[in-house]
Structure 1
Amino acid sequence: MSVLTFRLVTMSVRASAANRVDFLSRIAVGAVTQVAVVVFATVLITRFPGMGGWAQGDVLLIVAIRMSGHALAVAFFVGLRLVPRLARTGTIDALLLRPLPVYRQVLFSFFHVPVIGDLIVAAVLTATALAHLTVDWTPWRVGYLICAIVGAMLLEAAVQTFLSGCTLRSPGAKLWQDWAEELMATFGSYPLHILPDAARAAFTFLLPVAFAAYLPAAVLTGHMTALPVPGWVAAAAPAVSLLLFLAALRWWNRKLARYESAGG
């Protein structure tokens, strides 16, 4: 199984890199599309001392965790965006005949070249955030930061997995995929306690954006007051993201089991 997976990934990357000029230009496009995030970080550093009681470095840490998690989610889970088209055209029928889990085939059937630009921007933002933090980086904090970034990736993957599962039977649900991604990108980079109570609750319990970056950053920087959840829940944010991903994957497989071909 691992050999087949490796071959799928290799073939996808090679196909994307066949035209070197196009390959490099798409990497540049990936970096340019994150200009809003870069501008936000630049303005924060040069114009404002912080936001909502959080210092510059603290807010940048939220941005860095969210952006890093997003870039990794795009790198490994962007294939979920293809599910509506696969279901609508019946192409997913062919995947059912191969000796690999359909979910894995979907993930590795497409390599999104611009994500390399996303990863570069994420690395720069993380380095910038660390340079502006006054945190004592003990081995525990370093390990937790890594878990937080992986958790941010898994949370975004959980949301997209759940919604792509819906598209297996209702391809029009792709609009919800795009909307959820836009909301997470828009509000995932802010200390959520600056939002109204209703919005804060929605981004904690309905679309759990808070668990991606805000709560882990609060744990790392010591901002444990005014959180929408108890401190131990905030500290467990990466584990919560993992559980949500596993639940979403189970949902996806259940929807696949009830999938009906486009041809009936």
Structure 2
Amino acid sequence: MTVPAGPGAGSAARPVPRLYAYGLLMRAAVKSQLQYRGNLLFGLAGGAAFQGVGLAFIWVVATRFGAVGGWSMTEICLLYGMRLTSHGLWVVPGNQLYFLDVTIQTGEFDRYLVRPTGVLPQLLARGIHLPVFGDLVTGLVILTGAAWQLGVPHSAAGVLYLVLALVGGAMVEGAFQIGISAMCFRTLSNRSLRVLVDSVMNSFGGYPLKVFPGPARFVLTFLVPVAFVAYLPAGVLLGRAGDLHVPLWAACAAPGAGPLLLWLAHRLWRAQSAHYSSSGT
């Protein structure tokens, strides 16, 4: 049975604005989790510990060799903090995208189609995964400490660029995950691919990409856009734009890649959702 994927299909109720519906549903999800304060604290600690292991490994490498790709440990902390903060800004509101396969296979997705609002906001607000808050908090702590040690950004314009870079980086990661998830309407399951991309972002996003060979840098810039999440903006803030593997204008414009990719991902989502077929369960 093919179910129309348009928002509000089969409902005569007045459509609810997507952002308003998302806000209401997310507020309810957060309130339900706040009833268990101990679980929240353990979730934060778990997320922070997981991300801290990655930074500790980079610290070991930097301690052994003195620098990584010519970047000091403090500069790498700035890069790592930017990447992790952008990851947190995306994964806190968007973590439920990882469960798209389950909602399709169990028929839960059918319910989203008959409600008078967009299906994507309903999916993203179906619940909340507590450890992701640990990612965001850890990223902000590392970023703040490194920025204070390095004295960056140096001006109000630099602060604005940093904020735009963090939001843009979150959009880049979110766009890539939404775009991959959109193919699930045809394949029914591709969670392993989304987990793989998330692993690539986490594994390589905290390193200066100049440590990798040319083909790897190309892949991590133009195929899986890890460089646009934090590496290129961090290079601009640190005055290292001349050392990057892209032109100066491209590095400075890196935050703009996020809105563009997110727009393209949303269009792909809408196009692929038309191919959704109910599981009948």
TM-score under structure 2 length normalisation:
0.88
Alignment match, 1:220: 237
Alignment match, 1:75: 92
Letter in 2 for 1:248: A
Alignment match, 1:138: 155
Residues in 2 aligned to 1:136 and 1:185: alpha-carbon distance in whole angstroms: 24
Alignment match, 2:198: 181
Q: Report runs of 4+ in structure 1 exceeding 3 Å deviation.
A: 40-49
Contact 1:162 1:248 in 2 (8 A): yes
Shift of 1:165: 0.6
Q: 1:66-102 deviations in whole A, cap 9, x for unaligned?
A: 0000111111111211111111122111101111111
Q: 1:214-253 deviations in whole A, cap 9, x for unaligned?
A: 1001111111234232111111111012101110111011
Letter in 2 for 1:109: R
Q: 1:22-69 deviations in whole A, cap 9, x for unaligned?
A: 222222222222121341465477666432122333222210110000
Contact 1:203 1:209 in 2 (8 A): yes
Q: 1:22 to 1:136 in 2, by over 3 A?
A: closer
Residues in 1 aligned to 2:177 and 2:212: alpha-carbon distance in whole angstroms: 24
Residues in 2 aligned to 1:80 and 1:150: alpha-carbon distance in whole angstroms: 19
Alignment of 1:165-176 (within 5 A): 165-176=182-193
Contact 1:78 1:107 in 2 (8 A): yes
Alignment match, 2:29: 12
Contact 1:74 1:112 in 2 (8 A): no
TM-score under structure 1 length normalisation:
0.93
Contact 1:73 1:157 in 2 (8 A): yes
Alignment match, 2:105: 88
Alignment of 1:33-182 (within 5 A): 33-40=50-57, 42-43=59-60, 49-135=66-152, 137-182=154-199
Q: 1:120 to 1:257 in 2, by over 3 A?
A: same
Alignment match, 2:280: 263
Identity %: 35
Residues in 2 aligned to 1:100 and 1:33: alpha-carbon distance in whole angstroms: 36
Matched positions, count: 264
Contact 2:62 2:72 in 1 (8 A): no
Q: 1:122-176 deviations in whole A, cap 9, x for unaligned?
A: 1210122113314461011111011111111111101110111111221331111
Letter in 2 for 1:209: V
Residues in 1 aligned to 2:153 and 2:30: alpha-carbon distance in whole angstroms: 39
Q: Does 1:245 align with 2:265?
A: no
Letter in 1 for 2:54: V
Q: 1:245 to 1:136 in 2, by over 3 A?
A: closer
Alignment match, 2:6: none
Alignment match, 1:203: 220
Deviates more, 1:124-133 or 1:51-60: 51-60
Letter in 2 for 1:253: R
Residues in 2 aligned to 1:192 and 1:32: alpha-carbon distance in whole angstroms: 24
Root-mean-square deviation (CA, aligned residues, Å) is 1.9
Residues in 2 aligned to 1:135 and 1:17: alpha-carbon distance in whole angstroms: 35
Residues in 2 aligned to 1:67 and 1:159: alpha-carbon distance in whole angstroms: 16
Residues in 1 aligned to 2:48 and 2:73: alpha-carbon distance in whole angstroms: 23
Deviates more, 1:141-150 or 1:112-121: 112-121
Letter in 2 for 1:107: L
Residues in 1 aligned to 2:102 and 2:214: alpha-carbon distance in whole angstroms: 38
